[in-house]
Amino acid sequence: MKKTLQKMHWKMINLKSINKGLFLSLILSFIIFKTQAQIPEENTNSLRDTTITGSDPTVQLSQAESPLDTMKNNSFQRYKIDGVAAVIGEYLILESDIEKGRLEFESQMDGEHNITDCEIIGHLMENKLFSHAALQDSTVHGMVTDGQVLAQVEQQINHFVQRVGSMKKLLELYRKDSEEELRDELFKIDKEMQLAEAMQNHITDEIEVTPEEVREFFNSIPKDELPRFSDEVEIAQITIKPKIPQAEIDKVVNQLRDMREDIVENGASFSTKAVLYSQDGTSMDGGKMRITRQDPLDKDFKEIAFSLREGEVSEPFKSSFGYHIVQVDKVLGQEREIRHIILMPKETKSSLEEAKQKADSIKTIINAGEITFKEAAKKYSDDEETSGDGGQLINPETGDSRFELTKIDPRMYSEVKRLKEGEISRPLSDQTRTGQKYYKIITVTGLYPEHVADYSKDYTRIKDFALRNKQRKEIHKWRKDEIDDTYIKVSGDYKDCEFQSNWLKN
């Protein structure tokens, strides 16, 4: 019985992923980039021509180096790609993609779940089907702009550089001769993923559920298979950021001004100074970024970057993250290749203590009944994202206000666990992603002990499940029709797989 409950619970929870694409497919598509062989264009065309005539696409490809192979003495071992496992429209799936995907999935799941090669290729084919369909639909295709893809590529590269230490090491790891080659490869992979997501959204975006459909969905679940929800809480917060002394701000601005003068007047390297002094992840790559006007960056930062001519270096300026100077390396139409240096003024011990005392005094007046927590958050909180909602936190994974108790930030767990509903915590020290310290007070606005799903208490969640279930059915119907209308070839042992979808067109 317990296994049945868990199975039903996970079945429902997993419906949340419909609009964002299959989690597994996202993992595997990233692995494709890491393991993909560099097939010469003529070889690719030859394979495509072969599949169109109906021949077996399982062919032997030339040897290629894998970026994940063991590195010894700064050289790569070679391995041989087995061939093409499947063709979906114009997309190929290599057998090596499946093997590497399985290994990566198992490492991500820490051995908690087993997955077969048939399941992996099934997920990969589904993702390719969405991408292929998006290319055939001009409405969907138009939703994915090159600017959006380039912005994602830039974020990924910055993240990768942070992890491996430098752009040079990143290029060595992925066997690329230049940053341009790396970006081009990532661009292809990311565009495919965005096309797949856009297609899924196109299929499901207009689907809605009525209250009656929600009730019918809930009543259709056998009573002994209703999922259990773990202990959950709703949390609100008031954050107080320390005031940065003007002397600290002047110190940072003067340091940036001196750097600019050395670069402009003496020909010093902007890149070197970024590596030595800049206080964000791009410093490892000399502060390099590629941006568009559509990127989700600070407004002031973008305005300055797009006001500069090629080669020009800005005066020091302020953004919501700190103080910068920016240099434009290249103007590429609507894009800019830039370098930037960011410095963040440090809070002092006295300013931190003042922030702590202010947080404590706000707690005092709330407890005295002079103001509610919600009103105080709107009036005093420095967190722009939550102050307008009375400090209420939103769970980014679910989109609602509930947090599973065991999954909340470990830094808050012990405090939240001891609070009763309506109680306010002591001032807690925390810091932003850029390392700036601040204080906050939190309160539990709702407590939900572990329980079996209840229609009235959990209506919002059940409505979400009902919607995902309806979307899942629509996706299933669309997939069935699309498979019938798309050229698909599955080769080798994968013809013996028992797929959920009719990939073999039996």
Give, for 31, the enclosing helix (H) or strand (E). Answer: helix 23-35
Banded pLDDT at 109 (limits 50, 70, 90): low
338 forms beta bridges with 289, 328
**Six-digit token pair at 405?**
């108790």
201, 202, 203, 208: CA torsion to nearest 10? 70
Contacts (Cβ under 8 Å, ≥6 apart) of 58: 83, 84, 85, 491, 492
pLDDT at residue 47 greater than cutoff 50: no
CA–chain centroid gap for 220, Å, is 34
Q: What is residue 108's predicted lDDT score, i.e. its pLDDT? A: 65
DSSP string, 257-277: HHHHHHHHHH---HHHHHHHH
| Helices 23-35 and 179-204, packing angle to 10 deg | 160
Average pLDDT of span 89-109? 78
- Is the pLDDT score of 3 beyond 60? no
Residue 308 has pLDDT above 60, yes or no: yes
pLDDT grade for 172, boundaries at 50, 70 and 90: confident
Checking if the pLDDT of 29 tops 50, the result is no
Helix pair angle (23-35, 95-108), 10° resolution: 120
Domain 246-343 CATH assignment equals 3.10.50.40: yes
Range with the poorest average pLDDT among 42-56, 160-174, 411-425: 42-56
pTM of the entire structure? 0.58
Judge contact between 18 and 471, C-beta under 8 A: yes
Residue type at position 361 = S
Where are the CATH 3.10.50.40 domain residues in the chain? 228-243+348-452, 246-343
Burial of 159 (0-12, 13-18, 19+ CB in 10 A): exposed
Give the model's pLDDT for residue 111.
57
Bigger pLDDT: 28 or 136?
A: 136
Confidence (pLDDT) at 113: 66
Lowest mean pLDDT among 58-62, 272-276, 286-290, 409-413: 58-62
Evaluate if residue 73 carries a pLDDT over 70: no
Nearest to 164, CA basis, from 245, 285, 321, 335: 285
d(CA 115, CA 122): 11
Contact 377, 236 (CB under 8 A): yes
Q: Is 69 exposed, middle or buried (0-12, 13-18, 19+ CB in 10 A)?
A: middle
What pLDDT score does 173 carry? 81
Q: List pLDDT tens digits, range 223-257.
A: 999 989 899 999 999 999 999 999 999 999 999 99
Assess whether pLDDT exceeds 50 at residue 97: yes
pLDDT-derived band at 1 (thresholds 50, 70, 90) equals: very low
Domain 228-243+348-452 has CATH 1.10.3720.10: no
Token representation of residue 259: 């750097």
Classify each residue of 355-368 as buried b or exposed e, where b means 16 or more C-beta atoms within 10 Å of its C-beta. Answer: bbebbeebbeebee
Residue-level pLDDT at 112: 60
DSSP 104-171: HHHHHTTTSS---HHHHHHHHHHHHHHHHHHHH-HHHHTTS-HHHHHHHHHHHHHHHHHHHSSHHHHH
Tell me the longest C-alpha to C-alpha distance in the chain.
80
- What mean pLDDT comes out for the span 44-50? 31
Tokens found for residue 297: 């960056």
Each residue's pLDDT tens digit, 315-355 = 999 998 899 999 999 998 888 899 999 999 988 999 999 99
Would you place residue 294 in the very low, low, confident or very high pLDDT band (cuts 50, 70, 90)? Answer: confident
**Mean pLDDT of all residues belonging to the chain:** 81
Name residue, tokens 């494709």: 32
Six token digits for residue 372: 């509610």
The predicted pLDDT at position 263 comes to: 95
The span from the CA of 170 to the CA of 208, in Å, is 45
